[in-house]
């Protein structure tokens, strides 16, 4: 058996390829949209990708099932409850997919979504115990999939939570302790609240350590798994719907659109939003007025999908030689309306001096001085609710970054705004978004809440 996990850090996403090395038959599970790595591995090993299986309609990324089916002729599989615009094979509970001696068996595991399935992997058809189980978003390492993402139209979080209880407590925990657990996401994903950084586990380990896998009543389970979930990025519902639809294929060759200064500025004047993927430091030093800063070194796609709408045309300002990477990462969440990128921005900026501005950034000492003054600024905390519960700046307002684009009007006008997060990354995004929306006097806190906590009580202000 060939078994490979492909992990994408920026989306905390895991996909898989399983093959029988004797027959050369392979299946890819939960692929991302840029599929070249799967194709290259299959070609290098002489495999034929015969099937693409999605464990459910994902909300946090646009899956690569259509791209792989187009390139290989593979069929696309989902659980029995799935409804899609494109041809699919509905996989029944207990159904077997033979690759030769290697075999996959389908286990219906609804709860995160109604159509969710898990995939049991048998190294040999006659094995009594599976090698592992690909759990999709039903069971994570340290957590379970949240039932409240609104990815399932017409089904309530309570209904899904009760489905998930049966899935986790009665189906997945019924598997032998030795079965390896391979989830679709890891730490950082908004698909759960307590995901581990580890990329595989066992059923036995989860039975002993995962809060949601311990014996409990259905009511207690639903209460636990629905409490304290982070705000979901705005694009999640868009992707959950788009994954059901027939849509355009991603082609890396077609996204390389370098624009001259004149072309770039024409598109900006026509309404395109500029996403500047440089570091907060470089962005603060000088950027095109109205640009939104979403640093590439972080959860770029998720955060871009939080502050920019999929209907908006995007123009990219990228760190040197990372333009194609940035456009690919946008495509991974289905954001295909990229007008192009500015060729060599550092060389182009001097000619755009009239369109450039700097971003205000304050130290913790400077913020304390302002708060003690006669006209203190409004402090806006864009961390998650769970982070804020661990400590806050007195008198600050709170809107998580994932909710800021739709709640910006709640921020009172007429006062300077200082935005902070935990360390300064998300606050640069949030401050730039507010300036993009017309707020003039917006700064962000260098070092975030960590810098504020580090202030000595006797700091000279």
Q: What is the DSSP letter of 153?
A: T
Q: d(Cα 361, Cα 136) in Å, to the nearest integer? A: 41
Question: 428 with 400: CB under 8 angstroms?
Answer: no
Residue with tokens 């586990």: 201
Identify whether 191 is a catalytic site residue: no
Compute the distance between CA of residue 109 and CA of residue 88 in angstroms, rounded to an integer: 19
Helix H, strand E, coil C: the string for 166-232 is HHHHHHHHHCCCCCEEEECECCCCCCCCCCCCCCCEEHHHHHHHCHHHCCCCHHHHHHHHHCCCCCC
Question: Both tokens of residue 353?
Answer: 């001096």
Q: Any alpha helices (H) in 227-363, and if so which ranges?
A: 235-242, 261-269, 280-285, 300-307, 323-331, 345-348
Query: At a CB cut-off of 8 Å and minimum separation 6, what does 87 contact?
Result: 75, 76
Unique residue bearing structure tokens 């900006």: 268
The active-site residue, picked from 10, 191, 213, 421, is 421
Residues ≥6 apart with Cβ < 8 Å to 381: 388, 392, 393, 396, 397, 398, 399, 420, 421, 449
**Is-contact 459 376, C-beta < 8 A?**
no
Contact assessment for residue 45 and residue 2, using Cβ atoms and an 8 Å cutoff:
yes
Q: How far apart are CA 304 and CA 281, in angstroms?
A: 18
Cα separation, 59 vs 229, in Å, equals 15
How is residue 249 annotated by DSSP? P
Catalytic residues: 421
């Amino acid at each position: 058996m060939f078994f490979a996990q492909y992990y994408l850090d920026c989306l905390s996403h895991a996909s898989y390829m399983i093959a029988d090395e004797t027959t050369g038959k392979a299946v890819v599970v939960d692929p991302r949209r840029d599929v070249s790595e799967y194709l290259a591995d299959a070609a290098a090993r002489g495999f034929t990708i015969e099937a693409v299986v999605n464990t459910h309609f994902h909300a946090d990324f646009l899956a690569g099932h259509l791209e792989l089916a187009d390139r290989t002729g593979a069929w696309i599989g989902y659980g029995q409850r799935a409804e899609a615009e494109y041809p699919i094979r509905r996989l029944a509970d207990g159904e077997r997919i033979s690759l030769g001696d290697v075999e996959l068996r389908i286990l219906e595991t609804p709860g995160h979504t109604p159509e969710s399935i898990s995939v049991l992997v048998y190294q040999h058809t006659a094995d009594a115990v599976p090698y592992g189980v690909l759990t999709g978003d039903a069971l994570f390492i340290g957590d379970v999939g949240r039932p409240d993402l609104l990815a399932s139209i017409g089904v309530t979080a309570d209904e899904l939570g009760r489905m998930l209880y049966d899935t986790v407590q009665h189906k997945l925990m019924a598997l032998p302790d030795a079965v390896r657990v391979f989830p679709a996401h890891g730490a950082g994903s908004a698909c759960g609240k307590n995901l581990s950084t580890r990329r595989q586990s066992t059923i036995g380990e989860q039975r002993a350590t995962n809060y949601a896998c311990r014996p409990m009543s259905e009511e207690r389970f639903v209460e636990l798994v629905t409490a304290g979930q982070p705000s979901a990025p705005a694009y999640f519902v868009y992707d959950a719907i788009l994954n059901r639809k027939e849509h355009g294929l991603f082609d890396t060759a077609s996204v390389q659109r370098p624009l001259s200064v004149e072309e770039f500025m024409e598109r900006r004047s026509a309404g395109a939003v500029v996403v500047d993927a440089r570091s907060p430091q470089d962005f603060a030093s000088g950027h095109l007025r109205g640009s939104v800063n979403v640093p590439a070194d972080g959860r770029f796609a998720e955060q871009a999908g939080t502050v920019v709408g999929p209907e908006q045309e995007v123009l990219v300002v990228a760190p040197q030689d990372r333009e194609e990477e940035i456009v690919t990462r946008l495509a991974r969440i289905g954001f295909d309306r990229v007008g192009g990128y500015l060729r060599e921005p550092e060389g182009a900026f001097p000619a755009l001096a009239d369109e450039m501005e700097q971003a205000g950034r304050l130290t913790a000492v400077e913020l304390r001085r302002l708060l003690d003054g006669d006209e203190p600024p409004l402090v806006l905390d864009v961390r998650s609710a769970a982070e804020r519960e661990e400590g806050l700046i007195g008198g600050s307002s709170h809107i998580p970054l994932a909710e800021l684009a739709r709640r910006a009007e709640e921020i009172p006008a007429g006062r300077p705004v200082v935005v902070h997060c935990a360390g300064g990354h998300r606050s640069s995004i949030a401050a730039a978004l507010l300036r993009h929306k017309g707020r003039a006097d917006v700064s962000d806190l260098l070092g975030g809440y960590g810098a504020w906590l580090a202030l000595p009580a006797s700091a000279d202000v």
